[in-house]
Amino acid sequence: KALPESGNRGNVTIAYEPVWAIGTGKTASTNDIEEVHSHIQSVLRRLCGDEMPRELYGGSVKANNALEILSLPMVDGVLVGGASLAAAAFAEIINAATTA
- Listed in sequence order, the residues at least 6 apart from 73 whose beta carbon sits closer than 8 Å to its beta carbon are none
- Listed in sequence order, the residues at least 6 apart from 62 whose beta carbon sits closer than 8 Å to its beta carbon are 27, 83, 89, 93
**pLDDT on residue 3:** 61
**pLDDT on residue 8:** 66
- What are the residue ranges in the chain where pLDDT is below 50? none
Full-model pTM:
0.85
**pLDDT on residue 91:** 97
**pLDDT on residue 87:** 96
Residues making up the chain, counted from first to last: 100
**pLDDT on residue 95:** 96
State how far Cα 72 lies from the chain centre: 10
**pLDDT on residue 44:** 84
DSSP notation for 48-84: HTT-PPEEEEESS--TTTHHHHHTSTT--EEE--GGG
